């Protein structure tokens, strides 16, 4: 049998990022946390935590953390049906999920906020590119994720959410300056583009679709969807923006499409661990309703 006091210590270190903060969260000493993790590492025969700033779980450690998260959900559900097990009230349980930044900035945040306002949870939302959030599921770091991948990770279910439409936009002055002869491989190779981070391939995919070949794009890096819009309005560069975030600016003429009528549609899916949990199922219902209202049908 696994020692759940040690597992809780491991999960706290990974969640809090240090042994000291984990000890404060668990109301024990840092040496007690260290001892529990050392005993657990001896039991499983491998390292579970990479000491650093912050501390991070190894692959084995992440899988154990996912196990703790699943057990916590099941225990919380049991407390709800058997109040005698929780005389002081049902404790809030951590619910780790991953989502792409554009969804978080548009339809996801209101839905998860409405869910967390009435559910006994502590949401832990990780942000990554929609092509990479499924990696968080496979590693065991989260229990559910918004992904661009329909094929479910091992041990997960997958359901379609809808399609997020992106438009390649820039300010009228930017387009006049950088694309006076139209949009092509030559002009795209010189005009500054906007990317979220090094994983962001939306601009490159759109450029390839227009030019039928790869174009090396000069890039500004801005890890914020709202900063993307601000930068485009200011003439800093061009980028793929969620249609819902730029619709009003396009109507007002503050932004224009680089090539009208050339959207890039990204299908999104919700993948969740198969652990039977009423809380996880309720979160899924909140998110699928919000996605159906905000996204285009598949």
The C-alpha atoms of residue 45 and residue 62 are separated, in whole angstroms, by 15
Cβ atoms of 57 and 264 within 8 Å: the answer is no
DSSP string, 79-142: HHH-GGG-TT-PPPEEEEEEE-HHHIIIIIHHHHHHHHHHSSEEEEEEE--TTTHHHHHHHTS-
What pLDDT is stored for residue 63 in this prediction? 83
**Nearest partner of 10 among 82, 73, 58, 71, judged by Cα:** 58
What pLDDT is stored for residue 93 in this prediction? 84
Residue by residue, pLDDT tens for the chain (298 residues) are 678 889 889 988 888 889 999 899 889 999 999 999 999 999 889 999 988 888 888 888 888 888 887 777 777 776 666 665 555 666 788 898 999 999 999 999 999 999 999 998 999 999 999 989 988 888 777 889 999 999 998 888 999 999 999 999 999 999 999 999 999 999 999 999 999 999 999 999 999 999 999 999 999 999 999 999 999 999 999 999 999 999 999 999 999 999 999 999 999 999 998 865 888 999 999 999 999 999 999 8
What pLDDT is stored for residue 92 in this prediction? 83
In sequence order, the 6+-apart residues with CB closer than 8 A to the CB of 285 are: none
In sequence order, the 6+-apart residues with CB closer than 8 A to the CB of 185 are: 207, 211, 213, 215
- Domains of the chain, earliest start first: 1-64 (1.10.10.10), 164-266 (3.40.190.10)
Q: Which residues pair with 130 in a beta bridge?
A: none
In sequence order, the 6+-apart residues with CB closer than 8 A to the CB of 240 are: 166, 167, 168, 202, 203, 206, 264
pTM score of the predicted model: 0.82
The C-alpha atoms of residue 11 and residue 1 are separated, in whole angstroms, by 17
**DSSP strands (E only) in the chain:** 49-50, 56-57, 93-99, 121-127, 144-147, 156-170, 193-195, 219-221, 239-242, 256-257, 264-273
In sequence order, the 6+-apart residues with CB closer than 8 A to the CB of 282 are: 115, 119
What pLDDT is stored for residue 219 in this prediction? 97
Helix (H) or strand (E) holding 206: helix 202-211
């Amino acid at each position: 049998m696994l020692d759940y006091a040690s597992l809780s210590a491991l999960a706290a270190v990974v969640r809090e990022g240090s042994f000291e903060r984990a000890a404060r969260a668990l109301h024990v000493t840092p040496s007690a946390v260290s001892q529990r993790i050392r005993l657990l590492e001896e039991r499983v025969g491998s390292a579970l935590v990479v000491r650093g700033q912050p501390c991070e779980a190894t692959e084995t450690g992440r899988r154990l953390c996912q196990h703790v998260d699943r057990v916590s959900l099941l225990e919380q559900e049991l407390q709800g049906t058997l109040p005698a097990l929780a005389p002081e009230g049902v404790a809030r349980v951590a619910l780790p999920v991953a989502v792409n930044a554009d969804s978080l900035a548009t339809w996801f945040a209101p839905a998860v906020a409405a869910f967390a306002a009435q559910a006994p949870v502590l949401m832990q939302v990780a942000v990554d590119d929609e092509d990479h959030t499924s990696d968080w599921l496979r590693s065991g770091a989260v229990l559910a994720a918004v992904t661009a991948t329909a094929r479910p990770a091992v041990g997960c279910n997958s359901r379609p959410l809808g399609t997020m439409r992106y438009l390649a936009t820039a300010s009228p002055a930017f387009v006049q300056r950088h694309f006076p002869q139209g949009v092509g491989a030559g002009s795209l190779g010189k005009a500054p583009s906007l990317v979220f981070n090094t994983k962001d391939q939306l601009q490159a995919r759109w450029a390839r679709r227009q030019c039928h070949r790869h174009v090396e794009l000069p890039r500004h890096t801005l890890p914020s969807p709202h900063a993307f819009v601000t930068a485009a309005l200011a003439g800093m560069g061009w980028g793929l923006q969620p249609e819902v975030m730029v619709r009003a600016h396009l109507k007002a003429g503050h932004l224009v499409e680089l090539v009208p009528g050339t959207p890039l549609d990204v299908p999104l899916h919700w993948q969740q661990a198969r652990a039977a949990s009423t809380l996880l199922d309720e979160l899924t219902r909140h998110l699928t309703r919000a996605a159906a209202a905000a996204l285009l049908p598949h």
